[in-house]
Amino acid sequence: MADLTADKMFSMSGRSVVITGGASGLGKMVARGFIANGASSVTLVDMSRRFMNEAVSELEELRREVSSSCKISVVEADLGTNNGLAAAVRGVRDIHGTQLDTLVCAAGIRPMHTVEYEVGETLEKLRKSMQSMAYDDMEKSFKVNVMAPYYMTAGVIDLLGEAAKKGGGRGAVVLFSSAAAQHHGQFAPAYQCSKAAIDHMVRIMAAHFSEFYVRVNAIAPGLFPSRMNPADPADPSYNNMKYEKEMPARRAGTEQEMVGTALYLASSAGAYMTGDILRIDGGRVLVVSAKIKPRM
């Protein structure tokens, strides 16, 4: 009966975790969840030394609060470059040796058009809107959102394979897709197309790794507050969160909801799941192309 309790099934006790983009946003939520649920080591991979320092301070405080002995490490690297990816892999391998239980790839960017087009405006405005997406931004979106998780996984696949031999859901790769990969209610092709690529990459890698049962799944979040997706309307980057009242949940997602999903995919609770995408979006995809009256 004890094996059926939530604290047993969703435990990360004794497990090592690497999280790209772990210094802020969804990555940091996941890091907090793994530390709170027994992870023995958590390594954050991020390009911002300042955000990593702030995150480590917060995570150390949480570690003391839950009486955890988790080792918290950082690797500073720009995952949008070939050299940065190589440095990230070297850093992770130096820290984790011969085995890695879980790799979470949460680093991501969402470049937007600088000229917005509204239905009913002219073809000339449509042209200007489409061209306002810089070529470099489109390219970097694929480098960070697609190529980085591919090469990070490739760089540690042997460590994940060694962990998978122990069973219990170890040897797990958790990628980040998006609800935006499954709808066209907005026009953000750099982000939407790169996240749609993640959906297929999950299936490709899960199938390719099947001999070793290194599991690959993805989380497809809807609206969750993050540095990329600020909840404050006064923030210059405020954009997507304005839609939170226009979906069945009528709110953004919470840290608990994100952590619960990540724990399922990384722990023994989700050990029979591979090659799939878990969408947690409060029903956004159901209605994103329709109209629903906001309720306060």
Q: How many helices (H) does the chain have, and how many strands (E)?
A: 10, 7
Q: Whole-prediction pTM value? A: 0.93
Least confident of 31-35, 54-58, 289-293: 289-293
Which domains are seen in the chain, by residue range? 2-110+139-225+253-282 (3.40.50.720)
Average pLDDT over residues 202-223: 97
Per-residue model confidence (pLDDT) at position 231:
67
Exposed/middle/buried for 227, CB within 10 Å: 0-12, 13-18, 19+? middle
Those residues whose C-beta lies under 8 Å from the C-beta of residue 52, and which sit 6 or more positions away, are 23, 44, 46, 74, 76
At 37-57, the pLDDT tens digits run: 999 999 999 999 999 999 999
Those residues whose C-beta lies under 8 Å from the C-beta of residue 209, and which sit 6 or more positions away, are 157, 161, 215, 216
The larger pLDDT score, comparing residue 200 to residue 225, is at 200
At 249-262, the pLDDT tens digits run: 999 999 999 999 99
